[in-house]
Amino acid sequence: MTIHSLKYKPQPDESPAEGTRRMIDGLERVFYEGYWIKTYPVPADSLETKKRLIEALTRRLFNHTEHGLNIPGARLGEARQSYQAETDPARRRVKAGMLAGALFNRSADIFRKLVELQADGVEIHSDDPLMRECGQCLLDAMDLGRHVLHRSGEEGIDELWGEPFRAFSIPVEDYFESRYIKIGQSMRDIDRIAEVMVASFTQIPAFEHVEAPIRDFVHYAKVKTENLRTDPDIFDVWAQLVTAAERLASFTPTPQALPPGNATPRHGLADGLHLIHNGRHLIFHIARARTPMPKSTREYIERCEAYRASGRAPLTPAHLPL
């Protein structure tokens, strides 16, 4: 099976607008940020569809944020009381995330019951008090989510906290289109990280052969970014990404000849390897979340540029293992 992600290459007579759709190799793709991104059929816009979307997005959020936030909606009152009573700033930040998790789960609980009522023939209107409560829970959770970090410990991903509310408040078709935009932005940042890695390391003799494993890993990271977990191709997509990541992680620098006078080599190999592994983790995080991580991306690029210039990589919070 051939699995690929297409980057747009300008043609003399062609300049597609953002959002252009085209059949490529038998698949419909949409053009954003210079990439032709795989599309998926849009499900019917119904309460059942929105319920499934909110539940899936809530699971996704808990999968990418700090541990311990998945508080059942039935404990919302306890979570709110504990947050409001907390005075220590560090503990209050954590409890804000726990309250946000309870609010998300409460909104999913409400939607689930509304869908059950609708299935029993009860007509549900957009101004129904339970619908309003569901929307308020999502808004409150989105506000509190600003305090929560990604599992890497480096930054929050505000986008993850806003997605369930968008899925609730806008047509399903519009929500799907917004995801393609974020996927294009994620692919763009993955390529930005790859380019700075290649530029920083290939001019250093010990790392001159690292470009191929970086490019290979980045290719499959972009493929993963555009493929849903429910896609039939996911078994090949995930296996290819993980094995490409393993090949990059096992890269071994070429031993360096000592400079004249037995001086210390300019670029520290340990720092370089650590920086490569950090880049691998960051790309993996973006590909899995399918959402840009602008703060982490910017800081990683700065660290690569500092390493290229000085031979040493500035310290940064450690990434979690895959």
Domain spans in the chain, listed from the N-terminal domain onward: 47-169, 181-310
Q: Is the pLDDT of residue 250 over 80?
A: yes
Distance of CA 11 to the CA centre of its chain: 31
H-type alpha helices, 121-157:
129-144
pLDDT band for 180, please (50, 70, 90 cuts): very high
Percent of residues, the chain, with pLDDT higher than 70: 88
> Integer distance in angstroms from the first to the last C-alpha of the chain?
26
Lowest mean pLDDT among 90-94, 267-271, 314-318: 314-318
Instruction: Write down the pLDDT at residue 224.
Output: 96
Instruction: Write down the pLDDT at residue 256.
Output: 66
pLDDT band for 4, please (50, 70, 90 cuts): very low
Sheet holding 35-38, edge to edge: 6-7, 35-38, 27-32, 21-24
Nearest to 247 by CA among 287, 208, 211: 211
pLDDT band for 155, please (50, 70, 90 cuts): low
CA separation (Å) from 216 to 139, 162, 201, 219?
40, 32, 16, 5
Quick one: average pLDDT of 295-308?
Answer: 90
Instruction: Write down the pLDDT at residue 138.
Output: 86
Q: What is the mean pLDDT of the chain?
A: 85
Q: Is the pLDDT of residue 260 over 70?
A: no
